[in-house]
Amino acid sequence: MRLLLTITIFFFATPILAQVNGVVVDASNNEPLKGVNIQLETGDIVITDESGQFILEDYLGEITISHVGYESRTLNIPSSEDSPTIALQAGIFNLQEVVVSAFHDNQKLIDTPGPVALISRKELDRDQNLIITNSINRIPGVFMHSGTLNTNRITIRGIGSRSLFSTNRVRGYLDDIPLTSGEGETTLEDIDLALVERVEVIRGPASSELGAGLGGTINLKTKRGIESKYQIKTSNQLGSYGLFRSANSVILGLPSGSLGVNYTNTTSDGYRQNNEYDRETISLIGFTELSGKTSLSFLFNTIDLKAFIPSSIDSATFAANPKAAAGNWLAAEGFEDYDRSFLGTSIKTEIAPNAEVSLSFFGSFRNANEVRPFGLLRENTNAYGSRLKFTLDLQKSWAPILVYGAEVFRDTHKFSTFENDNSLPGNIESDNIEVRKYVNFFLQGDWQLSERLTMVAGLNLNDTKYEYDDLFRSNGDQSGDFGFDLIASPRIAFNYKVNPNNAIHFTASHGFAPPTLAETLTPDGQINPEIKPESGYNFEIGSRGSLLENRATYDITIYTMQIKNLLIARRIAQDQFVGVNAGKTDHNGVEAAIGYQFIQNQTGFIRTLQGHLNYTFVSFKFDKYIDDEGGDFSGNELTGTPKNTFNGILDLETSVGLFGNINYRFVDKMPMRDDNSIFSDAYQVSNLKLGYRNDFGKFQMELYGGINNLFNEKYASMILVNASSFGGNAPRYFYPGQPRNWFSGISLSLNL
């Protein structure tokens, strides 16, 4: 009897050991990860297979999961969970091993033949997490001017530098849903960073299913839930100039999919006069497996924004009182107020063992009201489109993986201007409807020519048309239609893996940028049938990889790009621009990023100490530029682009949860006029962030604080090229950067 009792007590007191069948995936796209190390407390190591799966025989306890390019995780395997799905987040070191989807399919960055850069969630968290400016400026070849939270301009390899108040000639997507309007304007700052898990940036033209943008493509990726995992998270931040930001989310990992709900609110009084800002965002993100071969994903995001506009200031005001708003915008209390929503859904199915088809639908609308010194602007934009893509893999050594399909897009832009009657609409001055539409046909083949050599060849065909209807005809009827000839953009690229850790890539590609409808108008408002899209060929060679047993990483690219039919937006009134094709530009540059792990020790007090250096050198010049008004600027430097930029950052993490980083940035002087008569001053800015994070079982907490512009540098964070003067006033070139300022925050999350 005593023996039976002893056996019974032992049986119930001892965990029942069973087989654990798990899978390790990428947190951004749920892509299974091969070759992940899973270390047990016994010292044994299990490695995931081709499907990211692993098996633990008769083991319960702590495991440490690690994979090159990803953040390591330590967790316990409970007896109640015999099929765990473990998600790894991309780190900030050796990202060449991280799975990306820049062109059409998920593959490691080191296997990708092209100039792709990755911003991970951890990279975004290095900064204040308020706007993407600092993170995107750490990518060589990419430069983001940031005048205010709602006034920004992103340029890639100098493309888009001549746009005045917005990002143009660079395409943007959120989970493959276009953020770019029908006339090529991308408002990346509309997307709250709390929604973003990863950013993939293609530098230069790369014809693919996402088009053949001249400058490049920026694709934001949202976070998906993991099966049977639930997360509730809230983050709150305070900062200088009345800043308050709250980001809240619930992510449900369902048995056959995931559902995420996000709400964010950001308010600020602003550093300058007439600089208040208020934005609310609500989003819904879902994914479900309809069957073993079919999946459905959807996204909805809505934004409510009201932001006052301080505008740019002249050099005298910039020197004496950078807090000041432009006098006319201050007097008018100018602002923009808009609601913007977009949604998309995509269904993907396997129609054969080696063939897959996906069909996507997307749409957006924007209602806007802008009060300006010279009138009121009312806008309404509705857009919709669809993308159909086929993927065929014959799984033959001689046959490529084929990707082909089409995307159609149409938006209708209604806008009217009125006299400003004490911020209310007075007499109507114009009433217009623009319809912008395009069709993209794409074809791409991926050949594995040998074990080490990959070739990709692609072709994009674009047909773009505009329709313009002038509804206010008291000054004549300027209505008209305009279209471009079919534009063909080819691309060929090679990637050669010298060894498993290092690769060389080469790309030759074509891109284009159609003018906006406003740029197709002549000074008297008529359609100019002679206007042509900007276009050009890009040639580059680069290498990326890791050295010294993965302690050092590098990514270096050299490129040359010649742009013809350069579009010049000539300002003929405060609210009127016309476009002319003025000549050619040469874009040549070197882009380099290197990193080094000084300390990588999971058991020591300092777990990681690593540094990153990014450098960009460019030679952008007007090859031929003769202005109709008599100026010959051939040979001059391209406006709005610095010749040298440099970033250095040092990251520290400890075993007790303390972390920090310091970031240094140098930006060279920039020509502000086409005749190169005026340059902005070079500047240096340093930022510091310190914090503490820890896990308490299923509960995680993070406290942090930081200082931007640590040494109180006075600089222009955005310049307006070729700024005009009206009424005898000096040209207003400058948006002043903020002086030294602070922020602090707390983030709490519960994982179930």
- In this predicted structure, what is the pLDDT of residue 4? 43
Compute how many other C-beta atoms are within 10 angstroms of the C-beta atom of residue 47: 11
pLDDT at 7: 41
**pLDDT (mean) for 537-545:** 95
Q: Which amino acid is at 325?
A: A
Residue 712's pLDDT is: 97
256/371: higher pLDDT: 371
Please determine, for residue 157, whether its predicted confidence score (pLDDT) is greater than 80.
Answer: yes
Q: What pLDDT does residue 225 have?
A: 75
* pLDDT category of residue 686 using cuts at 50, 70 and 90: very high
What is the model's pLDDT at position 228?
67
Pick the closest to residue 463 from 383, 409, 517 (CA basis). Answer: 409
Locus of tokens 């250095």: 648
Across the range 458-462, mean pLDDT stands at 93
80 band by pLDDT with thresholds 50, 70 and 90: very low
Spell out the domains of the chain, with CATH numbers in brackets. 2-88 (2.60.40.1120), 219-751 (2.40.170.20)
Q: Average pLDDT in the 110-122 region?
A: 90
Q: What is the pLDDT of residues 44-65, one digit of tens each?
A: 788 888 888 888 877 777 788 8
Q: What is the pLDDT of residue 715?
A: 97
- Is residue 11 pLDDT above 50, yes or no? no
- Is residue 645 predicted with pLDDT exceeding 60? yes
207-221, 468-482, 568-582, range with the lowest pLDDT: 568-582
Nearest to 353 by CA among 292, 444, 443, 289: 292
DSSP assignment string, 390-415: EEEE---TTSPEEEEEEEEEEEEEEE
Q: Flag whether pLDDT at 10 surpasses 50.
A: no
pLDDT tens-place string over residues 691-700: 999 988 889 9
pLDDT of residue 1: 45
365 pLDDT exceeds 60? yes
Q: What is the pLDDT of residue 3?
A: 42
Query: Can you give the pLDDT at residue 574?
Result: 54
CA distance 312 to 322: 10
pLDDT per position as a tens digit, 300-327: 999 999 999 999 999 999 999 999 999 9
| Mean pLDDT calculated for residue range 120-130 | 91
User: For 174-183, 276-285, 440-449, which range has the lowest pLDDT when averaged over its residues?
Assistant: 174-183
Closest CA to 503 of 537, 538, 547, 551: 547
445 has which bridge partners?
Answer: 402, 457
Lowest mean pLDDT among 41-50, 171-180, 336-345, 350-359: 41-50
Residue 5's pLDDT is 42
Q: pLDDT band for position 274 (50/70/90)? A: very high
d(CA 552, CA 513): 38
Q: What is the pLDDT of residues 90-110, one digit of tens each?
A: 888 788 888 887 776 678 889
Mean pLDDT of the chain: 87
**Share of residues in the chain with pLDDT > 90 (%):** 56
Residue 526: pLDDT above 80?
no
Helix (H, G, I), strand (E, B) or coil at 353: coil
Cα 513 versus chain centre, distance: 19
CB atoms within 10 A of CB 712: 12
> Which has more pLDDT, 556 or 24?
556
Strands 502-513 and 177-178: unpaired
3-state SS, residue 625? strand
Average pLDDT of the residues in 553-568: 90
pLDDT of residue 613: 96
Average pLDDT over residues 114-125: 91
State how far the Cα of 381 lies from the Cα of 365, in Å rounded to an integer: 5
pLDDT at 79 over 60: no
